[in-house]
Structures are given as structure tokens and as C-alpha cells.
Structure 1
Amino acid sequence: MGAVADEREQVEAHDEPTHPTEARGTRLDAWWARILSTPRRRALWYWGGPLLVTLLAAVLRFWNLGHPQAIVFDETYYVKDAWTLLQNGYESDWPEGADEDFARGDTGIFLDEPTYVVHPPLGKWLISLGMAAFGAGDAFWWRASTALAGTAAVFLVALVARRLWASTVVAVIAAFLLAVDGNAIVMSRVALLDTWLMLFTLLGFWFVLLDRDDARRRLEQHLGEARAAGRDPHYGPALWARPWVVAAGAAFGAACAVKWSGLWFLAAFGVYLVVVDAVARRRAGVPFWFTGAVLKQGPITFVLLVPVAVAVYLASWTGWFATSGGYYRQWAEEAANRATGFFSWVPTALQSLWHYHQSAYQYHVGVHAEHPSEANPLTWLIMFKPTNMYFHAIEDGSGGCGADTCWESIIGIGNPLIWWAAAAASVYLIYRLVRYREWQVGAILLGLAAGYLPWLAYLDRTVFQFYSIAFQPYTMLALAAVIALILGRRDDATWRRERGIATVTIFLVFVLLVSAFYYPIWTGIAVTPEFRQLHFWAPSWAT
């Protein structure tokens, strides 16, 4: 309850000084202060606000989730792979035309032969959870766990935002932006891997933020004890008791076990932990703060973070290890393939897995096939080329759209107001980091960089706009940061505060209206061709 009682409801802003007699705050601020005048009410808002917006996210993601009863886009890989993981312990091959048969409920036609897959198993195991409980006959259950992951991410964004700014108002706004955005909704409603990647990397980010405060407190405690005992802490203490670093390692390891791009988050935030520790030691007056952070605490942080991530990653391959039929599972059993010399001691199962990884990496870097929805990473922030995942035309007047011809679509178009404002906010935060060096801004931009910048090295590879879901929470946080600055503080000049509240309110109302307008083409609702065309605000969106 201490965190609730001490919560600051607005973030600090760099404002121009105002006249001391100038009116401050608004009647809305005074009313809100009365509403939150008791600890019980503050606690209700502290948890109720994020939970309410999470409930909204759940409705948008779970409503009519079983439609269409068809394999959508890359579900052709992950749904069927998830089902065979449950049955055989490894991803198995399917006969030609299996998508239509699977959607009709004929789920037992898979083969015993393994199929070649290029992503680790964890995401597919998680997709399989709904099918494990309720079977694979209903599309709702092969998408349910992913929808749950997308919903949980909204609540997690609220927790992250409140850790950054200690403001439930800003936390709810950040979560709301993710809850109603089309890219996040679509990626939660199709059984692909990327929402799981986003969830685990966001969870790791939250753990890193929790460690930031916890480690600083432990550092100050150790330094205080050392100085009280007359010892000179030249390098500062070695902190082993950092449970949030271990938790972050597990989360980032799980992200890597969904898609290898989680490795960039592990590396980025591993470096971040060392940098934060160096800054904390310098501010605490440690004489050799840099050496202490890099050479004394750095190796400890590595041990707490990386081996845990590796262990979680390897654990995700348990089904492949425990069975004999997985792709390349017996590769190193052949004498011609088995390692000799220094690495001959490595178990043959690990040798086979390493060969599998080499092969998969070559596949990833060599994907150059043309696709009508491929999107250059340079254009992701402005959403130049959304992914068209599903289209079905109903020509007999039975579609229910009020016309003879109805079209059903699932298109990963984000809410344009959110995406374009978030792109501008992200660029502005770069300036703000240089100008004010706010740690919150640095943390947000690091998450964005970890999810986005590595793709710029693969501009000639076939990639898609929906990959951006991995870093979308950080663009939402960037937009929330700018919104917080526009809102200002409760004790700002009345004219400034009123303008800020009005501006943010108008923006959020229009965001909600635009999301309502786009929701049919995010969820496969039958609409007329003319209504569908109205959603293509750029020529590149229409194909």
C-alpha cells in the first residue's frame, strides 16, 4: 500500500516559469483529488484503472475469436506444428491440402516424419495450450492462448509505464493505446509467434526496471554499512542478491525460445544493467565506479542473467531431446557428422542441435522470396505496408453486410492516429534524451532499438510489417511519454493545464473512434467492398 499512497499522479515536465500569482490546476484536478482522497480509493484506482483497460483489451481480442474457422496466413505453420508437438513431441509433416482438412476438424492426418522448422519450439508449445485442453476442432482454441498473451501484454504495459513515471493516469493511457491498436489486436487474434515474443521481452524489460530500484537500494545499504564500519568502498560491493536479474534472464531466454530475435533484447538490456550499475555507483560516491561496475559487478550480472536464459532456451527443446524423430535429431549419430578432437566430448544430441541451428540461421538470412505483403523495415514505423492475412469474398448475398457482395478481411493495419503519432513521439524522444538525459526516455528508446534496429541489417530479406509487434509496446510508451508532457502537472498554470487535458482528451476520443471504424477489417467482419476501401488511407495499404 505504500506504493499506492506515495504515487505521483503526474510526471514532471520542463515548463517555462509562470507568475507566482497565476492560477494553477483545474477544477477537474480538484475533483480528482477529492475522488482519490482516501487510501482505499487510491488503491482501487491503482489496480482498477489498469484492470479496466485490460478488460477492454480482452473483449477486443476474444470476441468472435473463432472466426474465421480457417487457417489464416502463417497459422499454416504454427497451428499445425503446435498440434503435432502435442502428439509426437516434435513438429511433424502434413500431407498436401491439410489446411482445409484441419479447419474442418480432421486433425489426425499428420505424418510421423518430421518437418523442417526454423523457429524454436516454445511459442508453438504455448499456442498448443488451448488445443491441449479443448481440442483442435475449433479455431477459437488454437488462437485462445495467443489472445490471452496479447491481453496480458496490455496489463504489463500499464505496470511498466507506472514503474517509469509513478502515474496511474499515464499507465492507463499507455495500456489503452496498445489495447485499441489494430496491429496489436490482429496479432493477438491469429496464432503466430510474434505476440509471444513481444510478451516475454516486455516482461524482461519490466524485471530490469524492478531491478533498477532494488539494486540501487541494496547498493546504498551495503555502502552505508561499509562506511559505518570505517571501510573505504573503492569499487563498491558485489551484489549477488538480484532476483529480478535472474527473472529477466528467464524472460529473455523464453523470448529467444520463441524467436531468435529475442537475443537482441537480452544483449541490449544486459549492457543496460551494467550501465545503470555504473551510474548508481558514481552517484553513490564510489571512487572507482566504472571499474567496479564493469569488472566487479559486471561478471556477476552476466552469471545471473545469461546462463539462466540459456537454460530456459534449451529447456524449450525438451520434446526434441526426449524423442528420436525430430528433424536432425539423429544427425550426429552418423560417424561422418560426429565431432572429433576438442569437441568430441559434447553429447551427440547437442551436436545435432547445433547443426540444426546452423542450418536454420542460413535459412533465415537467405529468405528472399517475393511476397505481396512484404515490407521494408525502413518503413515500419510509419506503417507503409500492412500485412493482409485473410480475405474471403461472399457473393451470394448471405454475408450480412447489407449488399449482395461482402468481403471479410484480416489486415494488420494499426490505428493510423496511434502509429503516426507514436513514430513522431519516438523521434522527439531522441532529442529529449540528448537534451534532458531522462532515464525513462533512455529505457524506452533502448527497447525500441533492440526490437527494431537489428532488422535494418536485413533490408534485402523478405520481412513483414507485423514483426513490429515486438517493439510496439515501446512506441506506445514513447507516445504516452509525450502525452504526459502535454498533460503537464497538477500544479501547472490553469491555462496550460486546461489546454493539455483538452488536447489529450480530444486525441484519445478520436483514437477510439478510428479503432471502432477499423475494427471490422481487423477481425474478419463482413463489410461491403466500398466500406473496406475507405480504410486504405495510403495506396500501399490496398494490396
Structure 2
Amino acid sequence: MKHPPMFLRAEFGALPLPKSPAARWGCYGPLVVMLVAFASRLWRLGAIKTLVFDETYYVKDAYGLIKRGYEVQWPKEYDDIFISGHLTLPTEGAFVVHPSVGKWLIGLGIELLGNNPWGWRLAVCLAGSICVFLVGRIVWHLFGNGKMATLASVLMALDGVQIALSRTAILDILLELFILLGVVFLVRDQLSYRPKLLTALLRADETRRTLGLRAKRPDLRLAPHEIAPTQAANLMTSNQPEKVPAAANPARYRSLAVAIPQETKKTWSFSPLPRSFRKSPQETKKAQRKGSLLGPVFWWRPWLFAAGIAWGLATSVKWSGLYVVAVFGIFVFIRELSARWATEPYWISSSVLTGGIPAFLNLVPITAVVYVGSWLGWFLNPNGWGHTGGSVWRDWLEYHRQILNFHTTLVSDHPYKASPWGWLLQLRPTSFYYQKVAGNCGKDQCIQTVTSLGNPLLWWFGALALVVVIMGSLVFLDWRAGLVLAGYFATFGPWMIYSNRTIFTFYTVVISPFVVLAVIYTLGVMMGQWRICSDKNWVGRYNLVPRSFPVNQVQIYLGLFIVALIFLVAVYFFPIWTGMTMPQHQFYWRMWLSSWI
């Protein structure tokens, strides 16, 4: 069978996206928002002439990489000389605690535009703008709703932590870029791999029943595709889902529902699995020879492989990318379990041996190869820090041991040190820059400030939306909510382990996309754009889902009102995200909480 059946999108993400004006919205909408976001981030990008916050480390490291091929040891208090351009480039290698991919990208901007504020920040400005587009594409692939995809990009463009870090040459926005790119590839993997897997699972299921191999699971003998074609045809016209035989949907077959909502018809629909699932005698004998107890195996998953490359690059920016690989790898395995649980007699063994191992081989080795490759500059330059003249691999491993020791023991006082318990509410944002400047501010002092404060309403509503995501994932088993929740675990969860370390709220720039996804998921439910897929009510009982459900106009207006408020708050806080000159008292107007100062 060349084309797999149309499985329930909300459960498997396997429904082809509609080729309609909505599809154009799903691409061009986020693209337009990205261009507007790029313009807003590019505006006055070089207005602050000094190295801001941790730019003092990463910009100089990037300059050394471009000129020497490795990070060099700069003299202390060298910022003013570096900015002036009258510098002497050292040759001694420097110990650095982050891999070099992010600094290479910053260095490319310096090589292109020169050693000036525009050159320092060009790479992060581009990366932050691309992230706006990628979030919209994730929403499009998850939900097939072009307008909500565009709205997701808008919310991403309006977040303060995104704006501030898109204008500051530090690594976190580059880490976010590769994380999101990997998530896009992961969603594409699920959209392409899931139908093939389910088709193969049902074929293997029928083969086993033909060979009498299903005796150990008699409760699962009746599958959805065993409904008589004539009965299924009647269901398609009767519009009475209650007529679906209860026996056709045993509990473990709820995830194999094949009914889909029609995008162009406000009706119920039911599609039986085609007869082409039944194998020919020759195919049956072949399956018998090979053995089918462990189910189908797919050794090549190109989109998952691409995700491994992206997350390898993320890990090559900061080690935080390792958590992303681990968490989303577990997510992929859980998705494998959910599919094989419905049909495989030995579903755990099948998930591990024929599902998990191939997925691991597609994801993890390429991640490791990309990470090791990111150290090529260090390997090729014996002047790099840590070279002893002995085994280069032993030196490399010792380097990593010292990096790990630094990351696990760093404890120091800092006025903007922030516990991760307050990150999701933005209780203690990081001040990157604060300077009194000359200007026409009347009797008040003029200042310029850059604060990495997330859009307060977006983040506060995001905290409420997280509850909806948790319910959608754990209660209703909606895989889309599960993906968003996995994003929280990957980008926020690990920091709870290191809450005693010196860490900062601006790390939430990589959490921000998943906050936006949580808000979009909740708004979509509230405004009737989609509904949480409940196995109990819509999949497990009837094998059917409605195209939509009645929505009170108040819900729609409430959703639009929330979005409008987020936009107005973004306009209000924009000056302190971009370093605009303002009277000092206006800065304090924007400090709604004393902990923000």
C-alpha cells in the first residue's frame, strides 16, 4: 500500500496539512512577522557602544576564534582597548566553559561588519528573528491552523526576553535557535514516521492473527479495521456515531482511531481501513520466515536524524542542549510505546528493540559527531588551552572534566542571581545595562537601560496555560500538549537541580518558545480553533471526532483581549528592552515589582 490511511491527527499527528489558504497563512504569516521582528531588533542595534553584560567574554572569545582558530587569553580590564580597535591579539589559549559554535557565529558577524557593536550583535539579531518564524512553523505542523501559527510568531516577537537577548551578543539565543530547529524536525518526524509505523503495525497484527500468534492477547483480537465495510459505509452517511460497535474499540485500540475531521465539511466522518492491509499469501509466508513477534522496524528516519544534527549544534553552543536530546529522546520512545501498545503482544520488547534502538541510532550518534566536530579548531591548534603535547584525546577529556567541575561548583554572589522557582513568573529579571546619559529629560536624569524582563502578561498567562498543557498531556493524552510539556522539562526542569548555583533569569530565553506554545495551545482551545483530544470522550468510545465544538463568543473575545493586552504591554516595556533614552522616573514606572529593580 503506497499511501497510509488518514489517522487521527490529534492523536498521531499524521493527518496531512490542508493545501488551502490556511497553508499559506502557516508559512507567509510567520515569515512576515519574522521580518517585522528583525526590523525591530535591528533598530538601533549598535546604539550601545560598550560591551554589555557577558558580551565581555563571548565577543572577545569570538574575535579570538576568527583570528586564531581558538579562544585566547585577554588581559584583564581590556574592554576599552578592545572597543577602540587598537588591540594586540594574544596567542596564549584561554580556558572557556562553553563550546565554540555560538562564538563562531558571533565571530562571523564581526568578520562581516567589523569589530563594532553591529558586528558583535548581528548573529544574535538574526537568530532571534529566525526563532520567531520557527515557533510559528511548529504551531502550523502541530495544529494545521495558519492564523494561530501567525499569532504564535506574534507572541514570540512581543516577548521581552527574546527582544533583549536578540540585541545582546551572548550565547543563549543561539542555543534557542538550534533547539527550536530540532523541535521542528522532530514534529516533522512524527508527521512522516507515524503513519508508516501504524500501517506496518496493523499489517503485522493481521499477519500474527493469520498465523495464530495472538493467543496471548485475546482481548485485542477485534480491531477497528475489522468493522464490516458495509457497516462502515452506513456510518459515513448516518451521522450517528453511537452505532459504532463498542467491541470495535477495546481500550488499547483507542489510539488507532481512523476517523478524521474534514477541513471543508462541518460533518462527522468515518473512514475504515482499506482491504489492502490484508497481505497476500506470499507476503504472509515471508513475514512468517522473518518473524513478526517484535513488530516492524524502520532503520532510517531522516527527520529525526536532522533533529540530532540541530541538537548537536545546540550542545555545541552550551551543554544545556544535552538535556534537550535526553528529554525529547524519551518523548520519542513514549510515542513509540503508545503506538505499539495497541497492537503488539510484546509491546515493551517491540518498543525497545524495533522502535527504540533504531530511533536511538538515528538521533544520538549524529549528535555526538556534531559535538566533537565543533571542537575542530581546538584539535587543529596546539596553542589552544589544555594541550599538553601528549594524547590529544586525553587532553580533550581532561578539558571536559574541568568544564564539568566548573559548571557543578560555581557558587558566587551576584545581585541578579535568581532562583529558578521564580523564572516562570519573571520575578527577578537580569539587568544587562544601566547608564546615566546626557539628554533632554527636564529636571530628571536621563538613563539608558537593558533589562531581560519577559513580557509580564505573556509569562503570567503562560503559567496558567501550563496547567492546561499538563492536563492535556497527562489526563487527555494529547501528544501535542505532551510535546510542549517535554519542552518545559528539557529547558526548565534541569535548572531545578542546580538551584543553589549562580544562575540567572535570562536563561529563560530557551523556555520562552514553550511558554508561547502553551499560551497558543490554551488560546486555541478557548477560542474553538481545536480541542483537547480526549481518548475517553472522542477516540476511545466512538472512533470519531467532531470538526469543532460550539464556542461562546465571549471566549473568542476574551482570547483576543488577552492578545491585545500582551501587545500593549510589549509597547510599554519596549524602551527598557532596547536601551532607549528615557527619564529615570519612567524607568521606575515600569518596575511593577520591587524585585525587578
Cα drift, residue 301 of structure 1: 1.6
Distance between the aligned counterparts of 1:92 and 1:379, measured in 2?
36
Does 2:375 correspond to 1:317? yes
- In structure 2, the residue matched to 1:415 is 455
Does 2:97 correspond to 1:118? yes
Summarize the alignment of residues 289-300 of structure 1 with structure 2, pairs less than 5 Å apart: 289-300=347-358
Deviates more, 1:375-384 or 1:168-177: 168-177
Cα drift, residue 126 of structure 1: 1.1
Summarize the alignment of residues 271-350 of structure 1 with structure 2, pairs less than 5 Å apart: 271-283=330-342, 285-330=343-388, 333=390, 348-350=391-393
- In structure 1, the residue matched to 2:308 is 249
- Counterpart AA for 2:295: G
SS in 1 for 2:378: helix
Q: Deviations over 1:350-385 (max 9, x none)?
A: 110100010111111111110011101111111110
- In structure 1, the residue matched to 2:40 is 60
- Counterpart AA for 1:122: V
Cα drift, residue 503 of structure 1: 0.9
Distance between the aligned counterparts of 2:316 and 2:500, measured in 1?
25
Does 2:462 correspond to 1:462? no
Contact kept in structure 2, 1:204 and 1:248, CA below 8 Å: yes
Distance between the aligned counterparts of 2:471 and 2:552, measured in 1?
24
Q: Deviations over 1:191-220 (max 9, x none)?
A: 111111111111112211111121122224
- Counterpart AA for 2:180: L
Q: Deviations over 1:47-97 (max 9, x none)?
A: 221112212211221111112011000000000000000111110011232
Distance between the aligned counterparts of 2:203 and 2:467, measured in 1?
44
Contact kept in structure 2, 1:386 and 1:465, CA below 8 Å: yes
Cα drift, residue 282 of structure 1: 3.0
Q: Which residue of 142, 166, 176 maps to 1:164?
A: 142
Distance between the aligned counterparts of 1:485 and 1:118, measured in 2?
43
SS in 2 for 1:527: strand
Distance 1:293 1:135, change over 3 A: same
User: What's the TM-score, normalizing by structure 2?
Assistant: 0.78
Distance 1:430 1:46, change over 3 A: closer
SS in 2 for 1:410: strand
Q: Deviations over 1:430-473 (max 9, x none)?
A: 23323211111111001111111111111210000011112211
Contact kept in structure 1, 2:58 and 2:169, CA below 8 Å: yes
- In structure 1, the residue matched to 2:239 is none
Distance 1:11 1:501, change over 3 A: farther
- In structure 2, the residue matched to 1:214 is 192
Distance between the aligned counterparts of 1:56 and 1:11, measured in 2?
32
Distance 1:178 1:317, change over 3 A: same
- Counterpart AA for 2:338: V
- In structure 2, the residue matched to 1:508 is 563
- In structure 1, the residue matched to 2:69 is 89
Contact kept in structure 2, 1:57 and 1:154, CA below 8 Å: yes
Q: Deviations over 1:149-201 (max 9, x none)?
A: 11101100011111221111221222211111101111111011111111111
SS in 2 for 1:393: strand
- Counterpart AA for 2:476: Y
* Structure 1: tracts of 5 or more residues without a match: 1-5, 13-37, 334-347
Distance 1:123 1:109, change over 3 A: same
Q: Which residue of 368, 383, 391 maps to 2:411?
A: 368
- Counterpart AA for 2:189: D
Distance between the aligned counterparts of 1:45 and 1:489, measured in 2?
15
Distance between the aligned counterparts of 1:400 and 1:266, measured in 2?
51
Does 2:170 correspond to 1:192? yes
Distance between the aligned counterparts of 1:492 and 1:297, measured in 2?
34
What's the RMSD between the two structures over aligned residues? 2.2
Does 2:94 correspond to 1:104? no
Cα drift, residue 224 of structure 1: 6.4
* Structure 2: tracts of 5 or more residues without a match: 1-5, 12-17, 208-278, 531-546
Distance 1:414 1:403, change over 3 A: farther
- In structure 1, the residue matched to 2:512 is 472
Cα drift, residue 402 of structure 1: 5.2
Distance between the aligned counterparts of 2:493 and 2:309, measured in 1?
23
Distance between the aligned counterparts of 1:161 and 1:523, measured in 2?
28
Q: Percent identity?
A: 36
- In structure 1, the residue matched to 2:572 is 517
Does 2:60 correspond to 1:70? no
- Counterpart AA for 2:308: G
- Counterpart AA for 2:421: L
- In structure 1, the residue matched to 2:436 is 393
- In structure 1, the residue matched to 2:268 is none
- Counterpart AA for 2:420: P
Summarize the alignment of residues 434-449 of structure 1 with structure 2, pairs less than 5 Å apart: 434-449=474-489
Contact kept in structure 2, 1:162 and 1:168, CA below 8 Å: yes
Distance between the aligned counterparts of 2:10 and 2:152, measured in 1?
14
Contact kept in structure 2, 1:184 and 1:469, CA below 8 Å: yes
Cα drift, residue 39 of structure 1: 6.6
Cα drift, residue 428 of structure 1: 3.1
SS in 2 for 1:189: coil
Distance between the aligned counterparts of 2:180 and 2:316, measured in 1?
15
Cα drift, residue 43 of structure 1: 4.7
- Counterpart AA for 1:245: L
Does 2:117 correspond to 1:135? no
Distance between the aligned counterparts of 2:107 and 2:306, measured in 1?
24
Deviates more, 1:150-159 or 1:272-281: 272-281
Contact kept in structure 2, 1:94 and 1:109, CA below 8 Å: no
Distance 1:399 1:102, change over 3 A: farther
Q: Deviations over 1:400-423 (max 9, x none)?
A: 445562000000111110011111
Cα drift, residue 234 of structure 1: 2.1
- Counterpart AA for 1:168: G
Distance between the aligned counterparts of 1:423 and 1:220, measured in 2?
35
Distance 1:517 1:212, change over 3 A: same
- Counterpart AA for 1:271: I
- In structure 2, the residue matched to 1:528 is 583
Distance between the aligned counterparts of 1:538 and 1:47, measured in 2?
38
